[in-house]
Chains A and B, each alone.
Chain A
Amino acid sequence: DAGITQSPRHKVTETGTPVTLRCHQTENHRYMYWYRQDPGHGLRLIHYSYGVKDTDKGEVSDGYSVSRSKTEDFLLTLESATSSQTSVYFCAISESGGQSDTEAFFGQGTRLTVV
């Protein structure tokens, strides 16, 4: 199994509070991704990183920020949590991009509830 760990696995937070989710990898993979999963929408890309300090927005980036200060860690921050951000969040890592056949490996997911 790919060495990818998400923390926390479950979190309940109040509306308006900041929340940070952590994704940690031991594979030294270049690419890291944050997704949210909601019924009927599949997995939607929030932000991704293609190297240390290199990040870009995905499909649903509003209200989220990310940081990657070292290869192994990719942090997702909800600046002021809202109920619409209640979701399951997945981190993924990938060694290569483009047409490379290396797949993305996923963490176990974080279930976030904003009340």
Chain B
Amino acid sequence: AQKITQTQPGMFVQEKEAVTLDCTYDTSDQSYGLFWYKQPSSGEMIFLIYQGSYDEQNATEGRYSLNFQKARKSANLVISASQLGDSAMYFCAMRGSKTSYDKVIFGPGTSLSVIP
């Protein structure tokens, strides 16, 4: 069965510093995709970044990068130069294929607070 683990319920980071949010996953699929979403206090889900299991390069999107270590089954999100507006819940998600029939499952989330 697929599973996503986020072991940091809450994190604090100083403004302008970098922060890493951890995500580990478990799947028996050979082909899968990994996503990160942000949920601010307003409640909407905002897509941040995607990494495919066969992608050899780590994904980057502006200040967001994904540290993908396939052998360790980890897909950590790195936010560089944190801003006050980065304070939110962050969710790691995975979409599998074949055995999991394209389900998209989420981890429990990490609450990030950016301190001025």
Interface residues, chain A, CB within 8 Å of chain B?
31, 33, 35, 40-45, 48, 50, 56, 58-59, 88, 90, 92, 94, 97-101, 103-106, 108-109
Contact = CB atoms under 8 A, between A and B. Distances in A.
Contact of B102 (A31, A59, A101): A31
B104 A92 contact: yes
A99 B104 contact: no
Given A106-B44, A106-B45, A101 B33 contact: yes
Residue of B9, B35, B52, B106 most packed against chain A (CB within 10 A): B106
Across the A-B interface, give the 9 residue pairs with the lowest CB-CB distance, nearest first: A97-B102, A98-B97, A106-B45, A42-B108, A43-B106, A103-B47, A42-B109, A99-B31, A101-B50
Interface in B38-61: 43-45, 47, 50, 52-54
A64 B22 CA distance: 32
B102 A50 contact: yes
A109 B43 contact: yes
30 contacts: A31-B102, A33-B104, A35-B106, A40-B108, A42-B91, A42-B109, A43-B93, A44-B106, A45-B103, A48-B102, A48-B104, A50-B101, A56-B101, A90-B45, A92-B45, A92-B104, A94-B102, A97-B95, A97-B102, A98-B32, A98-B96, A98-B97, A99-B31, A99-B95, A100-B33, A103-B50, A104-B35, A104-B47, A105-B47, A109-B43
Contact of B52 (A94, A101, A108): A101
Contact of A43 (B33, B44, B54, B91): B91
Main secondary structure of the interface of B (DSSP, over half): loop
B105 interface: yes
Interface residues of B, number: 29
Interface in B41-97: 43-45, 47, 50, 52-54, 91, 93, 95-97
Contacts of A97: 95, 97, 101-102
B107 to A, nearest CB: 6
Contacts of A90: 45
